Amino acid sequence: MLDDFMVRATLAGVGVALAAAPLGCFVVWRRMAYFGDATAHAAILGVALSLALSMSIFAGALVVALLMAVTVSTLSDRGYAMDTLLGVLAHSALAVGLVAVSFISGVRIDLMAYLFGDILAVSKADLLVIWGGAALVVGLIGWRWSALLTATLNTDLAYASGLQPRREQLVLTLSLAITVAVAIKVVGALLIAALLIIPSAAARPLSRTPEGMALVAAGIGTIAAAAGLYGAYLFDTPAGPSIVCVAALGFVLTSLFQAVKASQA
């Protein structure tokens, strides 16, 4: 079954969707969209280092994404405006990564595959990495769910409950870095943040509880992955952007549903 490239691609898309769903909810709740974007852009620098050092793309992207996330968290506590800091680091990391890739000789590089994904070229080994990373992210978020939710809702309440909000932030940071590393093959560095945010935003009008929102987001992400791949196959469009387009359509539909529901109330 895994010899069929469409089956491998679908499984890869579903794996990333399952990892991105619960994490994306926290990104939406904490208004960390730009934070996720900066981490994803940094992954291109990780790709360049991986190719230069002949190491795993996943490992390089994970290390650099994690360093970016930790750097942002550290500098934000030292008086830098968060939006300015993220803008500087995100675009600097992307530019440095693209320049670094141009200096690598003897390696054939399909830059578009890293920017917008190459899900149709996912191998069995890639599937193992994607699903292993997804399981780790879901496990981390599930393990710290209550603590993460409390720290997200109210920092003072978290301290009163004996929690350390910075530790919970570190869990989110690590989960985000892992998700970026496994998703770069599927949707590319420029669209990872979209796959984090759009299904979660689309799930909000259909959910009454945080847990329900995470589950609905996972469902929307899974449908987007499968339908986007099918659409790309039918219309010969780029697979990664097609997946994001289907997720965006889901957001439009749920937003219309919310508007209609509000008008009838």
Q: For residue 2, is pLDDT > 70?
A: no
For residues 34 and 197, the answer to whether their CB atoms sit within 8 Å is no
* Higher-confidence position of 190 and 198: 198
Quote the pLDDT of residue 140. 93
**Cβ burial 122-155 (10 Å sphere, 16+ → b, else e):** beeebbebbbebbebbbebbeebeebbbbbbeee
Torsional sign, CA 192, 207, 140, 31: positive
Quote the pLDDT of residue 249. 97
Instruction: Kindly indicate the confidence band of residue 58, based on its pLDDT and cuts at 50, 70 and 90.
Output: confident
Residue 174 CA from chain centroid, whole number: 12
Per-residue pLDDT, averaged over 119-127, amounts to 90
Instruction: Kindly indicate the confidence band of residue 173, based on its pLDDT and cuts at 50, 70 and 90.
Output: confident
Q: For residue 244, is pLDDT > 90?
A: yes
* Higher-confidence position of 138 and 262: 138
Per-residue pLDDT, averaged over 133-161, amounts to 92
Residue 132 CA from chain centroid, whole number: 15
Residue 48 token pair? 């360049």
Residue 166 token pair? 């910075």
Instruction: Kindly indicate the confidence band of residue 71, based on its pLDDT and cuts at 50, 70 and 90.
Output: confident
Quote the pLDDT of residue 230. 92
Q: For residue 184, is pLDDT > 70?
A: yes
Quote the pLDDT of residue 5. 85
Q: What span, in angstroms and rounded, lies between the C-alpha atoms of 213 and 217?
A: 6
**Cβ burial 179-216 (10 Å sphere, 16+ → b, else e):** bbbbbbbbbbbbbbbbbbbbbbbbbbbbbeebeebbbb
- For the stretch 44-48, contacts whose Cβ atoms lie closer than 8 Å and that sit 24 or more positions apart, written own/partner, are 44/93, 44/94, 44/97, 44/98, 44/101, 44/114, 44/115, 44/189, 45/93, 45/94, 45/96, 45/97, 45/100, 46/97, 46/181, 47/97, 47/101, 47/114, 47/184, 47/189, 48/97, 48/100, 48/101, 48/104
- Angle between helix 5-29 and 145-153 (nearest 10): 40
Per-residue pLDDT, averaged over 186-199, amounts to 89
Sequence-distant (≥ 6) Cβ neighbours of residue 90 within 8 angstroms: 34, 37, 38, 41, 42
Percentage of the chain exceeding pLDDT 90: 45
Residue with token string 């209609």: 260
Q: What span, in angstroms and rounded, lies between the C-alpha atoms of 47 and 104?
A: 11
Instruction: Kindly indicate the confidence band of residue 106, based on its pLDDT and cuts at 50, 70 and 90.
Output: low
Instruction: Kindly indicate the confidence band of residue 38, based on its pLDDT and cuts at 50, 70 and 90.
Output: confident
Q: What span, in angstroms and rounded, lies between the C-alpha atoms of 157 and 178?
A: 28
Give the lowest-confidence range in 22-31, 74-83, 140-149, 150-159.
Answer: 74-83
Q: For residue 198, is pLDDT > 90?
A: yes
Per-residue pLDDT, averaged over 27-50, amounts to 84
Torsional sign, CA 119, 211, 29, 161: negative
Quote the pLDDT of residue 114. 82
Q: Quick one: which of 172, 173, 220 has its CA closest to 195?
A: 220
Specify the pTM. Answer: 0.89
